[in-house]
Amino acid sequence: MDKRLVVNKLYILPAGHGVLREFFFNTNLGADNEQMVHSPLSIYLLDTSDGLILVDSGFAEDFLNNPNYYNGTPMEGLLYLYMKEEHRIPALLGSVGYKPEDVKLVISTHFHSDHSGGHKYFLETQTPVIVQKNELTILDDETYSPAECRLKDLNYQVIDGDYQLCDNIQLIYTPGHSPGHQSLLINTKNSGYILLCVDAALTEGIFKQNVPYFAADPEQATLSLNRLKAIAAEYNPLVIFGHDEQQAKALKVYPEFY
């Protein structure tokens, strides 16, 4: 990867949505609170001077036209994921005029069901997939996410902590939501700095008001959130939250770009 790489365009590609108990976004409400909220999902495509970089790959195809996937499990009634054919990686990339084999690098923020489901399309091409070392600890955990989200044979490029991919892309280690979650600070040619919190800050309320949310390690999640706030204060970026319904309505999506 060219260290002087320029991020010409950052595309936001809507990739489906979830409907889930509001408790997951605000644990102060209590697990018995039945209020449901809409949770949009997007992935990100970076058009750079050194080729295409994909950030996450969306839903596992177990959810394709199957929002009741969790029926009969402890998650029944708590979470519904809505994926259509247009949300598969070949279709998402095709909508921008590309194919999976055109992607030079995948950055995997974590292996949850809605962020790594399309990784399988980069098996045959052996496209490098950057992942945090601690996220690999869940590859054998069948309760973590569907099997296609936890593939062992990908061309993983394993990092451990913060990593400066190039002058204009920094990977920020933000564990807590998952064991090896990572966020990104990207300096784009057209829009300046953009902070992709991904699931280290699901919503603006979590980011700005420290609303506690459901996390694998709440203490680590709080530390990671504070790091992101410090980075935001230093760089004054556009801060994009992982699943904020109101923000998603205002963000530019393909064919517009940042």
pLDDT at 1: 84
CA dihedral 243, 150, 62, 252 (to 10 degrees): 30
Query: What residues of the chain score a pLDDT lower than 70?
Result: none
Tell the burial category of 141 from Cβ atoms under 10 Å away from its Cβ (0-12, 13-18, 19+): exposed
Residues 94-124: b if buried by 16+ CB within 10 A, e if exposed:
eebebebeebbbbbbbbbbbbbbbbbbbbee
Give the DSSP letter string of 182-247: EEEEEEETTTEEEEEEETTS-SHHHHHH------SSHHHHHHHHHHHHHHHHHH-PEEEESS-HHH
Domain membership of residue 221 (yes or no) is: yes
Closest CA to 206 of 13, 37, 11, 14: 37
In the three-class reduction of DSSP (H, G, I as helix; E, B as strand; rest coil), residue 54 is classed as strand
Alpha helices in the chain (DSSP H): 89-94, 204-209, 218-235, 245-250
What range does the domain containing 237 cover?
7-250
Domain membership of residue 1 (yes or no) is: no
Closest CA to 18 of 202, 225, 212: 202
Q: How many domains does the chain have?
A: 1
| CATH code, domain carrying 218 | 3.60.15.10
Give how far Cα 137 sits from Cα of 105, 110, 115, 140, Å: 22, 11, 17, 8
Residue type at position 229:
K
Report pLDDT digits (tens) over 120-154: 999 999 999 999 999 999 999 999 999 999 999 99
pLDDT at 31: 84
pLDDT at 53: 98
Report pLDDT digits (tens) over 89-105: 999 999 999 999 999 99
